[in-house]
Amino acid sequence: MTRLFPEVFRDPTIRVSMLAIFAFGFAGAATSPYQSVVGIRELGLSNGLYSALIFSAAAVNVIVSILLGNLADRLGEYRAMMLTVAIFGILGYGAVYVIPAQVTFVVSALLFLPVYGSLNSLLFANVRVATKGMERNDVATVNSGVRAMISLSWVLVPGIIGSLLINSGTMLPAYLFAGMACAVCFGLIAAFLPRQNGTDNAATRHLSYLAALGEVASPPVLVRVIAVALITSTVHVSDTILPLIVTGAAHGTVADIGVLVGIVAFLEVIFIIMWGRAQRIMSHVTALAIGTVIYVVYLLLLAQASAPWHIYALTLISGIGAAALISIPITYLQDLIAERPGLGSALISVNIFLSAGMSALLFAIGTGMSSYSGTAVISAAAGLVGLALLLFFDGGRRRR
């Protein structure tokens, strides 16, 4: 039993954090697939306004994550901060459901939900503190296990929400379910997360908020974040072009899309744990390099797909590679500012923002120059560029 459930997961802080991150993932998985439907079709936002809103919200989330992460490091206490941002989630999702109007949606998406989104990095920072003193291998195992809970929520929740609302004339109840998930997350943290001694965990050298932004943007950190963002952008590009290739070059149906996404998400949960164990025998950089190569191979094969079974056959390769690219960077990025768990974990949000922006650029370049299949090849090339940068900076030595 111990081999299936490693000893490190018996720590109460880690166990509660895993349940809280599942609730956090639940809220996103319940609403993200239907967010554009609610905003554009049900509430009447224009395509341009919606696009600007989503981009602005992502930028706000990055800034808030860095500032709150730095504040949590200065206080040495993450629990109170997590409870505060969980309330923002309850209010943000709840407001859209209770008062379904354009103004409510915009304020929620631009203010309340980006603040709530910083809970992701705060939870990982809290876990980082809990693993202080553990061996490097155990830290990687814990991070992989916590990240797997987000994938698990995406395996279960979108299908459940879709089934519950299939005969409904609106997708707004999804926001009610998300608000309830935020309330559960708040309850878990408030009732079961052990209290922390802020004096013991506080950073020894305080940074101003401007200095915190400067440390994130410092060349040694930024070039590595860009390298990882290039690698992880390939996952975002795949998410965009897979449905288009399935219903286009592969001559599949919309039903195939849902099945394929579910299969890959399920495989991700399994292989995230396996990648965590793999990092016991290899460095984070080596593991990420192997995962990148696997995902590049998947993208190149995806570009050749001409029948539905081709893409179904690629789900195993996709699941293995994607699991590496969404889990291993967490520990690597945290190690870039290892002495500040909150600020180091905020790099996770920075990476998500940069990789999403890069994927949008790659999609625009790929579709402008070629087809969706050609875009897969261009994305694979970008992933290799990111890998080359990563190996150039850190391939020959371990990070501090």
The tens place of each residue's pLDDT in the chain, 400 residues long, gives 445 456 667 788 899 999 999 999 999 988 887 888 888 889 998 878 887 888 888 899 999 999 999 888 888 888 999 999 999 999 999 999 999 999 999 999 999 999 999 999 999 999 988 888 788 778 888 888 898 899 889 888 887 888 888 788 888 999 999 999 999 999 999 999 987 665 455 555 566 667 777 888 889 999 999 999 999 999 988 988 888 898 889 998 877 877 887 788 889 989 998 998 898 888 889 999 999 999 999 999 999 999 999 999 999 999 999 999 999 999 899 989 888 888 888 999 999 999 988 988 898 898 889 889 999 999 999 999 999 999 999 876 544 4
Q: Which residues contact 358 (CB under 8 A, 6 or more apart)?
A: 229, 230, 233, 236, 382
For residues 109 and 54, is the Cβ–Cβ distance under 8 A?
A: yes
Query: Domains (ranges, CATH) in the chain?
Result: 1-206 (1.20.1250.20), 214-394 (1.20.1250.20)
Tens-digit pLDDT profile for residues 105-157: 999 999 999 999 999 999 999 998 888 878 877 888 888 889 889 988 988 88
The CA angle 256-260-261, to the nearest 5 degrees, is 120
Amino acid at 57: A
Residue whose token pair is 């070039």: 223
Question: What are 219-249's pLDDT values in tens digits?
Answer: 999 999 999 999 999 998 898 888 889 888 9
